[in-house]
Amino acid sequence: MKAIRMNASRGVLACALSLALAPAWAQDHSHHHAPPQQPEPSTSHDHAAMDHDAHQQHVDHAAMGHGGRDEPVEPIPPVTDADRAAAFPPIAHGMHHAPEINTFVLFDRLEAVDLDDGRGEAWEAQAWVGSDLNRLWLRSEGERERGRTESADLEVLYGRSVTPWWDVVAGLKHDFKPGPSRDWAAFGVQGLAPYKFEVSATAYLGEGGATAATVEAEYEVLLTNRLILQPRVELEAFGKDDPVRGTGSGLSTAEAGLRLRYEFTRRFAPYVGLVWERAYGGTADHRRDEGEHVEDTRVVAGLRLWF
């Protein structure tokens, strides 16, 4: 009987607890499953603040490279001429230059020539020693045919850099051949013209009022990093007729060449090419009198070296 009473008491206690906890359970259940209500005004301000914080975090992540947007946060302004001038200021040629003395030697042409009745050789070389502004230049050019030197000269010049791309030169030139040797005073410019044409123009003043001028221009076309095509043009003119040396007044000769070289290194490059030459005016007349060709085309092969 006592046991029955205890069980009844426990059942009454359980029912009472269930009735007491039912409102709380219903409130919690409705919190998770009831449809969302319209937010109060204060809640709207809280959500706006949360959206602003989320947007700020997105901007911060984008700035660190973690943003999900490809477009910039702010539009990039177009580049102006003032921006380019600030990024690439002109080179101040009057800046302090290194006082060290440097040297350079270049054999631009050291080649064998295929002639109609034999073989010949030709060379063109230059060297300098000095600083960036002041240099002593040596230049030489010549040709040999069938074992005989047909022309050869040597120039010793002082060069002064006047712009980042141009030097003025002045000095002496000595002609060994053709004919008797002769000395000239030389004045000229050399450097890099627009579009990267290497140009050399020199005027000469000799004994008895003799004058001459030489203009050379060449360009390098990079077919690959090692394969380079070099067009080259040279014009020569004289102020007076000189039968002893076989030259006439006015335009004397024009030469155009096309050489294709392969640079195993920048210092060592074999090449093959084709050279066309023609004499004009009095020079052409002197060649006809000597039984020589006025116009000639030659195949050449050689080396380009510098150190």
Q: Which domains does the chain have, with CATH numbers?
A: 102-306 (2.40.160.40)
Amino acid letter at 50?
M
CA gap 288, 199 in Å, rounded: 31
pTM of the model: 0.68
Please state the rounded mean pLDDT for residues 51-59.
47
The model's pLDDT over 249-290, given as tens digits with 9 standing for 90+, comes to 999 999 999 999 999 999 999 999 999 999 999 999 999 998
CA 53/CA 87 separation, integer angstroms: 38
Segment 93-121, tens digit of pLDDT? 555 555 589 999 999 999 999 887 778 99
Environment class of 271 (CB within 10 Å of its CB; exposed 0-12, middle 13-18, buried 19+):
buried
Quote the distance between the C-alpha of residue 28 and its chain's center.
Answer: 76
The pLDDT score that the predictor gives to residue 29 is 43
pLDDT reported for residue 75: 77
Name all contacts of 135-138 with Cβ < 8 Å and 24+ positions apart.
135/159, 135/161, 135/167, 137/169, 137/171
pLDDT in tens, 193-238: 988 899 999 999 999 899 999 999 999 999 999 999 999 999 999 9
- AA letter at 172: L
CA distance 119 to 165: 38
At 78 the pLDDT is: 85
Give the residue with greater pLDDT, 76 vs 223. 223
The pLDDT, as a whole number, for residue 88 is 75
Question: Which tens digit of pLDDT belongs to each residue from 6-43?
Answer: 444 444 444 444 444 444 434 444 444 444 444 444 44
